[in-house]
Amino acid sequence: MTAGDDAPDSGRLAALIRVALGEAGFERAAVWSAVGFAVSYVAFDVASIAASTAASLGATAVPQGLVAPVAGAVAVLTAVGVAAFAAVGGGVLPAILLAYGPFAAALLRTTGPEPYAIPLSDPVPFVVAVAEPLGAAVAGAVAVGVAGYAVGRVVAGIGGSEEEPDSVFADDSADADD
């Protein structure tokens, strides 16, 4: 075994780390996850208030059950955001983190406990009430994060420059002749 035998393995490991972590970092994903949680959580209240206001002003055929459309809009916007994040260099793990915030808010509002009604004086009922929606949010975030990463990298490859190779395992031997 020679010293040159380890180079392909270290190159693959570096490529795997680059795919997992990306170049954009966790900081941006964490901030957008938190912002996505807050905006998504409040979006359900805003949609309800808007529907009630429109109905009180005499609008007809105003849907009062806006939970499904709002949750669908949150899911679509999250998927687009994750793909865009991956297209500019985000990795799989930050993409999953980015998707978790909005999904957690949407699942808490759709399948979780009644909003603003759980007393925090006894933490056990609170933890039990939110554990299932947050667990489902992790599963959804993993699915959308991985798929969004794949779509984002394809989009980045289509619009990318011809100077960079499309494959993370590309051979650099052609550059060695220069």
Mind listing the pLDDT tens digit for each residue in 55-78? 788 766 556 577 788 889 999 999
Is it the case that residue 96 has pLDDT exceeding 90? Answer: yes
Nearby residues of 48 by Cβ (< 8 Å), 6 or more positions away: 66
Structure tokens at 145: 């994060």
Compute CA distances 134 → 5, 42, 51, 101, 112, whole Å: 45, 17, 27, 10, 9
Q: Lowest mean pLDDT of 52-61, 89-98, 147-156, 158-167, name the range.
A: 158-167
Query: Which residue type occupies 25?
Result: G
Cβ-contact 105, 38 below 8 angstroms: yes
Query: Which residue type occupies 23?
Result: E
What does the DSSP 8-state code read for residue 112? Answer: S
Residue 52 or residue 74, greater confidence: 74
Nearby residues of 166 by Cβ (< 8 Å), 6 or more positions away: 157, 160
> Rounded CA gap, 144 and 114, in Å?
26
What does the DSSP 8-state code read for residue 162? Answer: S
| Whether pTM exceeds 0.85 | no
For residue 56, which phi and psi values (nearest 5 degrees)?
Answer: -70, -25
The continuous run of DSSP H or E covering 100 comes out as helix 92-110
> Rounded CA gap, 117 and 126, in Å?
10
Structure tokens at 45: 């209240």
Q: Would you kindly state where each structural domain of the chain is located, as residue ranges?
A: 23-160
pLDDT interval class at 170 (50, 70, 90): very low
Structure tokens at 156: 């980045």
